[in-house]
Amino acid sequence: KTDAFTDDADLDAKVARYRHQGAAYALALGRATGRPVHRMVFCFVGGPDGTPAVERRVDDLDAAVAEVEALLAAQVTGLARPDAD
């Protein structure tokens, strides 16, 4: 990620905001390879001001993937054909 961050709390908030994105990547990778994905890590690049690059893991990846699966299922259900009366 290229987001700027001010401190650990700000960084944690950004990871929380990107949680479902990371889970969607993990879900897609797992389905494409047929292999379990055990971790998802966001890498935040350092800034020109000397801010160091840092990594943050999605700690609850299994739960996040389950949430993404539920969100996708709800979207698919919402796209069901209208009743033909």
pLDDT in tens, 3-45: 888 888 999 999 999 999 999 999 999 999 999 999 999 999 8
- Judge whether residue 74 has pLDDT over 80: yes
Q: Please state, in angstroms and rounded to a whole number, the distance separating the CA atoms of residues 18 and 21.
A: 5
Dihedral in degrees, nearest 10, Cα atoms 15, 23, 55, 51:
-40
- Judge whether residue 81 has pLDDT over 70: no
What integer pLDDT is reported at residue 6 of this predicted model?
83
Q: Please state, in angstroms and rounded to a whole number, the distance separating the CA atoms of residues 28 and 83.
A: 32
What integer pLDDT is reported at residue 19 of this predicted model?
96
Token digits for 40? 């998802």
pTM for this one? 0.79
